Amino acid sequence: MAAADKADAAAAFACAVRAAIDAKTKPVGALGRLETLAAQIAEIQQTLEPLAERCRLTVFAADHGIAAAGVSAYPSEVTRQMVLNFLAGGAAANVIARVLGVEITIVDAGVSGDAIEHPALLSHRIASRTRNAVNEPAMTASQCEQALDAGWKLGNEPGHEVACFGEMGIGNTSSASLVAAKLLGVPVEGLAGPGTGLDDAGLARKRRVLESAAARTPNELKPVQALSEYGGFESVMLAGAMLGAAEAGKLVLVDGFIATVSALAAVRMSSGVKRHLVFAHRSAEPGHGTVLDALDVDPLLDLDMRLGEGTGALLAWPLVQAAATMLRDMASFASAGVSERT
């Protein structure tokens, strides 16, 4: 089909979706953003009877060399400890996923120390941690491509219509701040926040470290360059997973600051990814708003959260289910015999 014909078909289907939503037994627009979400799901799935029955959360974990510079309130060992907590079912993401009936998968993308042996853990280790981005690129170009490819394959896996992606890695708000700064061509200082709970002195130190790291490279970098220079194995894998999920026709629920930076990188690599993304919540991390504005998106929720792990994305899952079910099952004025507005 020619590009013009594809555009015409897409426009015609969008009109059909809008007409179907407007014909439901309610005033036009009365369900607000739920209607917009329903239309997005329908257009991704190319049906007026969309499904949102199966959702998977994949949490990518890895360590960061830049953590050695004192950019976090927690030591690097916490990454490994939290992976074990995820596997034991004790983290916030586990609890929320469990109550919502969401499948959860944990991926070792590069946790420090010996490989963790656990039957429920997926190992896609690139290395035991990234290098310290203050002094050198966080990873080689080859490692970056390896992480993108591993993420793409995981995101592309069948079995669910909706994907959530989370992350765990001490130092990853620093990494994400640097990647965002280089993708947007803005100073890193305004993007860096307290992360895991730094006090004022700790935040000032973190910003000095990040400014030093940012000074190594030009103000603006292409996506793979920015990810190689400053990314984490988990956040690069997350970007690849978004690319793979979009290719598979899935809806992707985007979590907080770190996941949104990965989404920005994914959109810069393939602009068509954006139509598959639903931005779940606005993080309390200060750089998140800047990245959301750059993407020109408005998240569904604002709960003053800054945890990561995919927790915010999970909380948007019931809204996705409600939106899809509304379009699929809600009666129309005609089918219900209800009089329309005169």
* Measured distance CA(64)–CA(171) in Å, rounded: 6
> May I ask the CATH class of domain 55-323?
alpha beta
In angstroms, the Cα distances linking 25 to 80, 269, 327, 340 are 51, 41, 11, 8
Angle at 322 between CA 320 and CA 327, to 5 degrees: 100
Helix, strand or coil, per DSSP, at residue 100: helix
**Fold that domain 3-51+324-336 belongs to in CATH:** 1.10.1610
| Predicted pLDDT at 1 | 62
- Burial profile 230-262: b = 16 or more Cβ within 10 angstroms, e = fewer: bbbbbbbbbbbbbbbbbebebbbbbbbbbbbbb
Q: Do the two domains 3-51+324-336 and 55-323 of this chain adopt the same fold? A: no
* Residue tagged active-site, from 35, 167, 229, 309: 309
Residues 19 and 34: their CA atoms lie apart, in Å, by: 15
Q: What are the C-alpha distances in Å from 124 to residues 27, 111, 187?
A: 50, 10, 33
- 136: annotated active-site residue: no
- Residue closest to 97 by CA, chosen among 251, 299, 263, 316: 316
Write down the domain spans for the chain: 3-51+324-336, 55-323
- Burial class, 32, CB count within 10 angstroms (exposed 0-12 / middle 13-18 / buried 19+): exposed
Q: What's the rounded Cα separation, in Å, for the pair 150 and 227?
A: 15
Q: Please tell me the total number of residues recorded for the chain in this structure.
A: 342
**130 contact partners, CB below 8 Å, separation of at least 6:** 62, 63, 64, 65, 66, 110, 138, 139, 175, 231, 232, 233
For the stretch 132-150, pLDDT in tens is: 999 999 999 999 999 999 9
The angle subtended at Cα 199 by Cα 194 and Cα 201, nearest 5°, is: 105
Q: What is the pLDDT of residues 29-51, one digit of tens each?
A: 999 999 999 999 999 999 999 99
Cβ neighbours of residue 236 closer than 8 Å, sequence gap 6 or more: 139, 144, 147, 148, 151, 227, 262
Task: Give the closest residue to 174 by CA, choosing from 73, 66, 259.
Answer: 66
List % helix, strand, coil for the chain (3-state, nearest 5). 50, 10, 40
- Contact yes or no for 191/180 (Cβ under 8 A): yes
Give Cα 137 distance to the centre of its chain: 23
Walk along the chain (342 residues) and give the pLDDT tens digit of each residue: 677 778 888 899 999 999 999 999 999 999 999 999 999 999 999 999 999 999 999 999 999 999 999 999 899 999 999 999 999 999 999 999 999 999 999 999 999 999 999 999 999 999 999 999 999 999 999 999 999 999 999 999 999 999 999 999 999 999 999 999 999 999 999 999 888 788 989 889 999 999 999 999 999 999 999 999 999 999 999 999 999 999 999 999 999 999 999 999 999 999 999 999 999 999 999 999 999 999 999 999 999 999 999 999 999 999 999 999 999 999 999 999 999 887
Contact criterion met (CB below 8 Å) for 59 and 162: no
Residue 318 corresponds to which tokens in the numbers above? 């019931």
pTM strictly above 0.75 = yes
* Three-state secondary structure call for residue 111: coil
Provide the edge-to-edge strand list for the sheet that holds 103-110. 121-123, 103-110, 55-62, 162-168, 251-254, 277-279
- Give dist(CA 58, CA 102) in Å, integer: 10
